[in-house]
């Protein structure tokens, strides 16, 4: 019995020890998953000088650093279009010009962990043979409707000299993609391509196919856009810009000018200007011009002449300037452009829009969502103004007119403020109105007087014109029309908004961008913010609203308290027009931000092809030392492969000043499909032009995107709008 009991005891103790060991092992923290790199398949053979796209996808890399590319045998294995790429972004491998002594192996190595990577199977490089088609004179990347460029295809390796057949897509018809002067041409003989008479819904692909081998062809993608004509339709144009001037203060300017039928001569106009040194100025525009920039990009130089010497080159607090403003414009269409001030006195960025004459002749009515701001975070104000015509036309009774304000980081102190009886004037002959706004809290908010320049029934550009309040702010009002007073949770829940904002915090200039998605009771999404301190934990940064619940006023005012990424917490306000647009401010005691955004469409379905065509790029920012504002506009082209290239005209005040034709390029990783992509841009960094500055790209849809720089090299917030 004693032996039996001892044996049982020994077995029991052994089992307990094993269980303890298992318990201890299972409760330990597992190591993070290892980084892995996978490559897309490549052919087993390639001809000399052939191009092959290869994509590396990196998983479990919290730094999102991408891969470095290499090949063997070193020196004779070929080359890559880029030495490194982000995860999911294709690189173009070019085979060597001559057959190497051995097979070629392509390798992608993780930047974060160089011990992790993947190589292709051996690739055999073969001599060139057979028929090959090359577009020796390709078409331009962008064309105006009905444009007629000559295109030449050359065929090699065809002993029968069969030439090429020409086709285009979509539809291969004159109305859908254009036509050719001949359906086929001999090798080296030009064909005249005629673009469709109207802008098609997608880019056009022009293809030359070998007559004697239909498997051999060469193609080019062309964006047909009215912007490519490089001209503006005659009429009245409303412009609005904000930036930094030679008085070392922010300024805002809005106005309207008349473009003559020759599409060159500006015959007159008017504008309102405010900076904190020379104060508000209202001036007639006496003339000016719109001419091509001369760089072949389709950009325009707009010169506006006034008799006011308080601004323009040479201007200062003694008012010794020329009274002239020069703008550079990159066309979005023949009636709309992204613009930047482009002279030595000021730099700024903004908008240019053809004015609707019917809307410009009518007194504004119904609800308007608005945001105005000033001096990099000194003030941000947003809300809803309801022109209810009570008791008179243009009257604002104050009912359902509400606003929020952040005065130099005052937080939510001024949340839910109201307007007392106020008014908007009838428009003058150029569509200028005056808003006289009286806050119920007249102690903190003295009378506010704004000039408003009507663009159309849903857009008014605003600028302060009086020193009663005297912040020198400017902004935009969006007409709500039939949506006035009809907002609630139902149309908001499930929608996502892409927003870009600029302002300041305790460290200086602050920029932010994000994707905010409304759930049933709370918001979630992503945010990126940059004040050059590197305080953001990751990019893009997931956010939640915690336990707080957002609210939607019937006015279209959305309050989102307590949004957080775990490091910062911010209170976001959105002001909706019901037409897919949102204006935004923050109500925080550590920062002040304002900006605008759009309702995202196609969420979850974005890929590289979503960004395809020619886009007007518009960027604003500050250098790493915050010595002066930077503004740039220009066209960039993308073939729908997750990359783009183009040119920008850049103005860096107090430094290099206006600089034309800077090469700008970039690429981005198109996963996940939510439309929040990481990548880089080269060419906007004023300190080191070759830097691959890190960016997050927030897709709104295939026609619009917002991009924000996420590294400490520079502050840059940009917008991309498809030319059409």
CATH code of the domain containing 646: 2.40.128.120
Residue 544 lies in a domain: no
Question: With bands split at pLDDT 50, 70 and 90, how would you rate the model's confidence at 5?
Answer: very low
188: pLDDT strictly greater than 70:
yes
User: 281-290, 589-598, 630-639, 669-678 — which is least confidently predicted?
Assistant: 669-678
Mark which of 182, 205, 224 sits at the end of a domain. 224
Q: What is the pLDDT of residues 136-180, one digit of tens each?
A: 998 887 788 888 899 999 999 888 899 999 999 999 999 999 999
Residues 216 and 139 in one domain: yes
Q: How far is CA 677 from CA 89, 113, 450, 642, in A?
A: 11, 22, 38, 10
pLDDT above 60 (res 52): yes
pLDDT level of residue 129 (50, 70, 90 thresholds):
low
- Integer CA distances (angstroms), 640 to 52, 112, 608, in order: 16, 28, 5
586 pLDDT exceeds 90? yes
Domain-ending residue, one of 194, 224, 254:
224
> What is the percent of the chain with per-residue pLDDT over 90, rounded to a whole number?
70
Q: What is the mean pLDDT of residues 477-489?
A: 96
Cα distance from N-terminal residue to C-terminal residue, the chain: 96
Number of domains composing the chain:
4
16 within a domain of the structure (yes/no): yes
- Domain ranges, residue 113: 36-126
Clarify whether residues 149 and 207 are in a common domain.
Answer: yes
- For residue 491, tell me if it sits in a domain: no
Does 666 have pLDDT greater than 80?
A: yes
- Domain end, chosen from 126, 161, 189, is at 126
Same domain, 80 and 146: no
206 Cα distance to chain centroid? 28
Residues 678 and 718 in one domain: yes
Is pLDDT at 128 greater than 80 in this prediction?
no
The answer to whether position 557 is within a domain reads no
pLDDT score for 3: 39
| Residues 122 and 146 occupy one common structural domain | no
- Are both 58 and 17 inside the same structural domain? no
* 4-13, 291-300, 422-431, range with greatest mean pLDDT: 422-431
Out of 24-38, 545-559, 710-724, the most confident range is 710-724
Are 612 and 670 in the same domain? yes
Same domain? For 614 and 723 the reply is: yes
Question: How many residues are listed for the chain in this entry?
Answer: 724
Same domain, 79 and 154: no
Q: Which two tokens stand for residue 76?
A: 């004779």
Mean pLDDT of all residues in 328-351: 96
| pLDDT score of 314 | 86
Distance CA 426, CA 420 (A): 20
Residues 648 and 690 in one domain: yes
Residue 720 has pLDDT above 90, yes or no: yes
Domain CATH number, residue 46: 2.60.40
Higher pLDDT, 421 or 31: 421
**Across all residues in the chain, what is the average pLDDT?**
90
Q: Is the pLDDT of residue 25 over 50?
A: no
Distance CA 112, CA 66 (A): 8
Confidence grade of residue 30 (pLDDT, cut at 50, 70, 90): low
At 451 the pLDDT is 98
Would the pLDDT of 2 be above 90?
no
Local structure of 579: helix, strand or coil: coil
* Same structural domain, 76 and 169: no
* Amino acid 224: pLDDT: 84
Question: What is each CA distance from 157 to 20, 128, 187, 509, in whole angstroms?
Answer: 75, 9, 11, 60
Residue with tokens 């504004």: 364
Residues near 118 by beta carbon (within 8 Å), at least 6 away in sequence: 37, 38, 39, 56, 107, 108
The whole-number average pLDDT for the span 55-81 is 90
State mean pLDDT over 545-553: 88
- Report yes or no on 82 lying in a domain: yes
644 pLDDT more than 90: yes
Alpha carbons 375 and 473: distance in angstroms, whole number? 8
Residues 612 and 717 in one domain: yes
Q: Is residue 152 part of a domain?
A: yes
Assigned domain for 302 exists: no
Q: Are strands 395-396 and 422-424 parallel, antiparallel or unpaired?
A: antiparallel
pLDDT value of residue 8: 41
Q: Is residue 664 situated within a structural domain?
A: yes
């Amino acid at each position: 019995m004693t032996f039996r009991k001892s044996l049982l005891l020994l077995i029991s103790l052994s089992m307990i020890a094993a269980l303890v060991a298992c318990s201890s092992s299972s409760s330990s923290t597992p190591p993070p998953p290892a980084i892995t790199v996978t490559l897309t398949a490549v052919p087993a053979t390639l001809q000399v000088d052939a191009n092959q796209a290869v994509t590396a996808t990196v998983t479990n890399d919290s730094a999102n650093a991408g891969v470095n590319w290499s090949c063997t045998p070193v020196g004779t294995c070929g080359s890559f279009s880029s030495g490194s790429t982000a995860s999911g972004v294709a690189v173009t491998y070019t085979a060597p010009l001559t057959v190497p002594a051995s097979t070629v192996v392509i390798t992608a190595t993780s930047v974060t962990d160089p011990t992790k990577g993947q190589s292709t199977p051996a690739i055999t490089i073969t001599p060139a043979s057979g028929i090959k088609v090359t577009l020796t004179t390709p078409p331009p990347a962008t064309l105006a409707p009905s444009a007629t460029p000559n295109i030449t295809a050359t065929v090699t390796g065809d002993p029968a000299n069969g030439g090429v057949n020409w086709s285009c897509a979509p539809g291969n018809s004159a109305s859908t993609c254009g036509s050719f002067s001949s359906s086929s041409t001999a090798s080296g003989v030009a064909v005249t391509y005629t673009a469709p008479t109207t802008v098609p819904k997608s880019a056009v692909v022009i293809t030359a196919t070998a007559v004697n081998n239909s498997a051999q062809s060469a193609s080019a993608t062309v964006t047909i856009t009215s912007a490519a004509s490089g001209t503006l339709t005659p009429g009245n144009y409303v412009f609005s810009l904000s930036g930094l001037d030679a008085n070392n203060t922010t300024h805002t300017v809005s106005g309207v000018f008349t473009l003559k039928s020759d599409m060159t001569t500006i015959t007159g106009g008017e504008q309102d200007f405010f900076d904190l040194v020379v104060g508000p100025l209202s001036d007639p525009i006496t003339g000016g011009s719109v001419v091509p920039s001369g760089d072949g990009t389709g950009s325009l130089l707009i010169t506006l002449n006034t008799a006011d010497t308080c601004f323009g080159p040479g201007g200062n607090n003694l008012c010794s300037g020329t009274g002239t403003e020069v703008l550079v414009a990159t066309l979005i269409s023949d009636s709309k452009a992204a613009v930047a001030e482009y002279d030595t006195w000021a730099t700024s960025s903004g908008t240019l829009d053809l004015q609707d004459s019917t809307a410009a002749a009518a007194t504004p009515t119904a609800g308007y969502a608005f945001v105005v701001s000033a001096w990099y975070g000194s003030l941000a104000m947003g809300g809803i103004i309801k022109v209810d015509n009570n008791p008179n036309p243009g009257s604002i009774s104050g009912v359902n007119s509400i606003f929020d304000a952040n005065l130099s980081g005052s937080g939510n102190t001024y949340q839910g403020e109201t307007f007392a009886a106020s008014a908007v004037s009838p428009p003058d002959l150029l569509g200028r109105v005056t808003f006289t706004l009286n806050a119920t809290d007249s102690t903190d908010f003295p009378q506010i007087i704004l000039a408003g320049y009507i663009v159309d029934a849903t857009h008014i550009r605003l600028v302060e014109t009086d020193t009663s309040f005297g912040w020198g702010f400017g902004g935009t009002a969006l007409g709500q029309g039939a949506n006035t007073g009809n907002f609630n949770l139902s149309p908001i829940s499930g929608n996502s908004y892409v927003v870009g904002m600029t302002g300041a915090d305790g460290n200086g200039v602050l920029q932010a961008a994000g994707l905010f998605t409304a759930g049933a009771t709370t918001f979630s999404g992503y945010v990126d913010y940059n004040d050059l301190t590197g305080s953001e934990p990751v990019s893009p940064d997931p956010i939640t609203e915690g336990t707080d619940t957002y609210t939607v006023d019937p006015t279209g005012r959305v309050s989102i308290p307590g949004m957080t990424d775990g490091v910062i917490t911010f209170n976001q306000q959105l002001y909706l027009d019901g037409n897919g647009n949102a204006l935004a401010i923050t109500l925080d005691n550590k920062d002040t931000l304002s900006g605008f955004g759009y309702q995202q469409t196609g969420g979850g379905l974005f890929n590289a092809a979503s960004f395809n065509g020619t886009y007007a790029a518009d960027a604003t920012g500050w250098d790493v030392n915050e010595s002066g504002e930077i503004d740039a506009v220009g066209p960039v082209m993308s073939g729908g492969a997750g990359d783009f290239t183009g040119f920008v005209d850049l103005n860096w005040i107090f430094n290099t000043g206006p600089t034309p034709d800077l090469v700008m390029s970039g690429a981005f990783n198109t996963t996940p499909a939510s439309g929040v992509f990481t990548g880089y841009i080269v060419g906007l960094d004023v300190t080191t032009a070759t830097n691959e500055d890190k960016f997050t790209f927030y897709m709104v849809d295939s026609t619009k995107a917002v991009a924000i720089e996420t590294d400490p090299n520079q502050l840059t917030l940009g917008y991309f709008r498809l030319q059409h």
